[in-house]
Amino acid sequence: MKPKPRFNQKINLTIQRLGIYGEGVGYWHGYTVFVEGALPGEVIQARLCERKKAYGRAATLSCSRLSPHRVLPSCPLFGRCGGCQIMHLDYNEQLVLKRQRVIDSLERIGKLKGIEVLPCLPSPSSLHYRNKIQLPVVPSENGLKIGLYARNSHDLVEMEKCFIHAPLGEKVLERLLPLLKASSVTAYDPKTGSGELRYLLIKSALSTNQAMVILVTKGAPSRELCAFAHALKETCGEVRGVVRNENESADNTVLGSSYQLLVGEGAIEERLLGLSFKVSPASFFQVNPLQAEVLYKQALSLADLQGDETLLDAYCGVGALSLLMAQRAGKVLGIDCVSQAIADAKNNAQNNQICNVEFACGLAEEFIPTLRSLDVALLNPPRRGCDSSLLQRLSELAPRRILYISCDPATLARDLAFLNERGFSIDTVQPFDMFPQTAHVETLVCLDRDFVQSRVTL
């Protein structure tokens, strides 16, 4: 019988790989141990600080062999703030390990052997790339604190600068912080129910130099909050508008469903690959727009559209890929469950004078049964992946090609296995580093139908 370490026991480990949250993974007599901050190839002595039946967590006590890829993090808050997980790893090695994570998921979860995974494409910028930041606001003895939560906790790490946030957003943050701290706006305290401000979000449109600030509050906006919003708009010309979001939930959900414009305009405009896109507070838009352009160009190339196809863009958001595909397809159908995103998508189609696209609000798995034929499908689901009923109906419609964009290799592998069993071969697997300095990896997969005969059930 293999031994298992005791709680608080000192153990020696060789770190074999990175876990899905960027932690080092080692094995002690076959028992899996996660060690935050440890890198593959490092030999460490650690103390077990959490022991479960199948795995444990340990803290490094000493390191007898360092990884040759370990580097000094750019951010002085690295290790305390939970925003970045692998800033201490050389960027080229980040790309290597992200590709390996996709390979491991395909083989272990999808049971897909022998699939070629291309090298992970680097981001045009490994720092200062994010066009969005969301910061919790908590009460303090001196009024309020703004920052990011430490990893796996609700301990706030106060910060005034983020090294992966875009320069425009950082400029807004730099102007915003002193104004907010000098104001009479109070932070919401869940223990007492007093105060109002829970989170602040900054969205930036890098190509147009426009920004939007979203203030998430408990209850109606106070005079002080409205005064702060107007002061920020006057102080920072890049801020097109300040919007309040009302969030009454008691859980960790950041945004509620109700929005109110406090000052200025309720949306910003971003441009990608020659098209302009309206981005509202509730709408999803890729957080790394420069890398998004690289990904979208590849998706357009792999789609290989001839001009007469019907294309479905499931989870279409504000319609960025829908409109880009519509320039080369016969007809595009976009579906998303966020009503504001669909409103933006329709507005974007009109503004870009693209007429061969239709957008609908609803769940993709409820929309796809209404279709009777389809040539190309584009899937870009949230982290949980696609509903099995959507994939089943898609396999019945039997489009000639499926493009799957995923932000989670595990659910991607599960869904690819489902489609592969139903007659779709995996042609291209291309990882993209959409989120440098973090453990996340984006992947574009192209699948082709193995046979021409349609199996659609009318």
**CA–CA distance, 427 with 335 (Å, rounded to integer):** 25
- Is 256 among the domain residues? yes
193-251 tens-digit pLDDT:
899 999 999 999 999 999 999 999 998 899 999 999 999 999 999 999 999 999 988 77
**285 pLDDT band (50/70/90 cuts)?**
confident
Shortest CA distance to 144 belongs to which of 228, 242, 203, 73?
228
Verify that 262 and 348 share a domain, yes or no: no
Q: Is the pLDDT reported for residue 53 higher than 70? A: yes
Q: Same domain, yes or no, for 438 and 298?
A: yes
- Geometric angle at alpha carbon 301, from 299 and 304, rounded to 5°: 105
* In the predicted structure, residue 455 carries a pLDDT above the cut 90: no
In a domain, 308, yes or no: yes
User: Does one domain contain both 118 and 138?
Assistant: no
Instruction: Give residue 378's pLDDT band: very low, low, confident or very high (50, 70, 90).
Output: very high
Q: Among the three residues 272, 299, 324, which one is the final residue of a domain in this structure?
A: 272
pLDDT higher than 80, residue 152: no
Mean pLDDT to the nearest integer, 111-128: 96
Indicate if 147 and 268 belong to the same structural domain.
yes
pLDDT value of residue 451 = 55
Distances in Å between the Cα of 121 and the Cα atoms of 74, 290, 419, 432, 436 are 21, 12, 25, 5, 11
Which domain CATH number covers 375? 3.40.50.150
For residue 97, the surrounding DSSP H or E stretch is: helix 91-108
Closest-CA residue to 376 (of 326, 298, 305): 305
Domain endpoint, select from 213, 241, 272: 272
- Looking at the fold, whether 305 and 408 belong to one and the same domain comes out as yes
Catalytic residues: 407
User: Is residue 72, in this structure, part of any structural domain at all?
Assistant: no
Residue 388 carries which side chain, given as an amino acid letter?
A: S
Three-state SS at 156: strand
Does any domain span residue 83? no
3-state secondary structure 229-287: HHHHHHHCCCEEEEEEEECCCCCCCCCCCEEEEEEECCCEEEEECCEEEEECCCCCCCC
Q: Are residues 341 and 443 in the same domain?
A: yes
pLDDT value at position 350?
96
Are 433 and 398 contained in the same domain? yes
* Residues 149 and 256 placed together within one structural domain of the fold: yes
Q: Is residue 71 part of a domain?
A: no
Contact by Cβ (8 Å): 449, 424: yes
Same domain, 265 and 318: no
Residues 294, 433, single domain; the answer is yes
Q: Confidence class of residue 450 from pLDDT cuts 50, 70 and 90?
A: confident
User: pLDDT tens, 320-351?
Assistant: 999 999 999 999 999 999 998 999 999 999 99
Same domain membership, residue 115 and residue 196 = no
Of 224, 242, 272, the residue at which a domain comes to its end is: 272
Map residue 362 onto helix, strand or coil.
Answer: coil
| Residue 199 placed within a domain | yes
Q: What is the C-alpha to C-alpha distance for residues 298 and 307, in angstroms, rounded to an integer? A: 18
Give residue 199's domain range: 132-272
For the chain, what is the mean pLDDT?
Answer: 93
- The verdict on residue 197 lying in a domain is yes
Binned at pLDDT 50, 70 and 90, residue 141 comes out as confident
User: Are 297 and 325 contained in the same domain?
Assistant: yes
Confidence (pLDDT) at 3: 80
Structure tokens at 270: 């971003």
Q: Domain of 222: which CATH number?
A: 2.40.50.1070
Write the pLDDT tens digit of every residue in 289-330: 999 999 999 999 999 999 999 999 999 999 999 999 999 999
pLDDT at res. 312:
97
Q: Does the predicted TM-score (pTM) go above 0.95?
A: no
**Total structural domains within the chain:** 3
Tens of pLDDT, residues 79-115? 888 889 999 999 999 999 999 999 999 999 999 999 9
Question: Element (H or E) spanning 415, and its range?
Answer: helix 409-421
CATH code of the domain containing 54: 2.40.50.140
pLDDT of residue 406: 97
Residue 74 within any structural domain of the chain: no
